[in-house]
């Protein structure tokens, strides 16, 4: 079984809709992250959480919100989706500053 | 302004030869650098890292070189294998920001057999 899972894997939605992307991990890591990948831009950090009570904005948090429901769960919400939020979204986890980040398989989101 | 730049969108190499992927950065506060590999329909996976106190780190066929004065790092793959064909991302972090990673745009490596 995968250590970091993301649901759904693919999602098509319409402009203005609220959607939630979910991430679960079985690695026991405290730190969790949400990134988006766009062609030619690499991965950019949206939000990160170093423990259940700690939520921080990343480089591109506008239009997004997150919830850390438990150590193992970190969800990303788009309150009112817009077409330029069409991207590949990745969740990641790590156990500390010098530790590698482990990524989920990604969610491909299309906003029409 | 991109703090981490991978100026080559793609690279094609013959099997058995050396692959050299390059990365430049602008933020002098970066003190930890990583390379990730990504296959289609999968998330990135960690490949190799180097801290700013070193100038070289080696792991099997993969070696990362860091030139702090030039703010440049490179990943060498020797010998290259068809299974190495993937997108390679360079990433960096600064100590004061924990392990928030800043990624480059990626380089597509194709190893021809």
DSSP A6: E
Q: Report CA-CA distances (Å) from A45 to A57, A90, B13.
A: 8, 9, 31
What's the pLDDT at A100? 85
Per-residue pLDDT, averaged over A83-103, amounts to 91
Q: Is the pLDDT of residue B53 over 80?
A: yes
What's the pLDDT at A90? 98
Kindly state whether A4 is in contact with chain B, defined as any CB-CB distance less than 8 angstroms. yes
Per-residue pLDDT, averaged over B10-35, amounts to 96
Q: Is the pLDDT of residue A109 over 70?
A: yes
What's the pLDDT at A17? 97
Which among A94, A98, A103 is the nearest to B44, CB-wise?
Answer: A103
Per-residue pLDDT, averaged over A20-44, amounts to 94
SS3 state of residue A19: strand
Query: What single string gives the DSSP state of each residue in A23-63?
Result: EEESS--SEEEEEEEETTTEEEEEEEEEETTEEEE-TT-TT
| CA separation for the pair A68, A13 (Å, rounded) | 23
Kindly state whether A102 is in contact with chain B, defined as any CB-CB distance less than 8 angstroms. yes
- Substitution target from A101, A103, A104, A108 for chain B, most B beta carbons within 10 A: A101
Pair of tokens at residue B9: 């969108």
What's the pLDDT at A40? 82
What's the pLDDT at B75? 98
What are the pLDDT digits (tens) for B62-113? 999 999 999 999 999 999 999 999 999 999 998 765 668 899 999 999 999 9
Which among B46, B95, B100 is the nearest to A45, CB-wise?
Answer: B100
Query: What single string gives the DSSP state of each residue in B49-95?
Result: EEETT-SEEEETTEEEEEETTTTEEEEEESS--GGG-EEEEEEEEEG
Q: What is the mean pLDDT of chain A?
A: 94
| CA separation for the pair B54, B39 (Å, rounded) | 29
Pair of tokens at residue B107: 């380089």
- Tokens 């950065």 — which residue? B25
Q: Which residues, numbered 25 to 64 in chain B, qualify as contacts with chain A under a Cβ-Cβ cut-off of 8 Å?
A: 32, 34, 36, 41-46, 49, 51
Per-residue pLDDT, averaged over B5-32, amounts to 96
Nearest residue in B to A56, CA atom? B100
> Per the CB < 8 Å rule, is B42 touching A105?
yes
Lowest-confidence region among A12-21, B43-52, B90-99: B90-99
Q: Which residues, numbered 59 to 98 in chain A, qualify as contacts with chain B under a Cβ-Cβ cut-off of 8 Å?
A: 59, 90, 92, 94, 96-98
Question: Using DSSP, how many helices (H) and how many strands (E) does chain B show?
Answer: 0, 11
CA angle B64, B69, B71 (to 5 degrees): 55
Classify A70 in phi/psi space as left (phi over 0), alpha (psi -120 to 50) or beta: beta
> Per the CB < 8 Å rule, is A105 touching B104?
no
Q: What is the mean pLDDT of chain B?
A: 94
**For residue B63, what are the contacts with CB-CB under 8 A and spacing of at least 6?**
B48, B56, B57, B75, B76, B78
The torsion angles phi and psi of A105, rounded to 5 degrees, stand at -80, -10
Q: Is the pLDDT of residue B1 over 80?
A: no
Q: Is the pLDDT of residue A41 over 90?
A: no
């Amino acid at each position: 079984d995968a250590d970091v899972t993301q649901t759904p894997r693919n999602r098509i939605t319409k402009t203005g809709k609220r959607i939630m992307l979910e991430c679960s991990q079985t690695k026991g890591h405290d730190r969790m992250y949400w990134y988006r990948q766009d062609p030619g831009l690499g991965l950019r950090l949206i939000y990160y959480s170093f423990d259940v009570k700690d939520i921080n904005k990343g480089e591109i948090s506008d239009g997004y919100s997150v919830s850390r429901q438990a150590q193992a769960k970190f969800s990303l919400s788009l309150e009112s989706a817009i077409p330029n939020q069409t991207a590949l979204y990745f969740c990641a986890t790590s156990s500390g500053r010098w530790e590698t980040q482990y990524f989920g398989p990604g969610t491909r989101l299309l906003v029409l | 302004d991109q703090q981490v730049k991978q100026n080559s969108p793609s690279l094609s190499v013959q099997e058995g030869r050396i692959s050299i992927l390059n990365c430049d950065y602008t933020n002098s506060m970066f003190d930890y650098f990583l390379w990730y590999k990504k296959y289609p329909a999968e998330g990135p996976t960690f490949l190799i890292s180097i801290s700013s106190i070193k100038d070289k780190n080696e792991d099997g066929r993969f070696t990362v070189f860091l030139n702090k004065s030039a703010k440049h790092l490179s990943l060498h793959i020797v010998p290259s294998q068809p299974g190495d064909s993937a997108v390679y991302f360079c990433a960096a972090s600064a100590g004061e920001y924990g392990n928030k990673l800043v990624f480059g745009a990626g380089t597509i490596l194709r190893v021809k057999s």
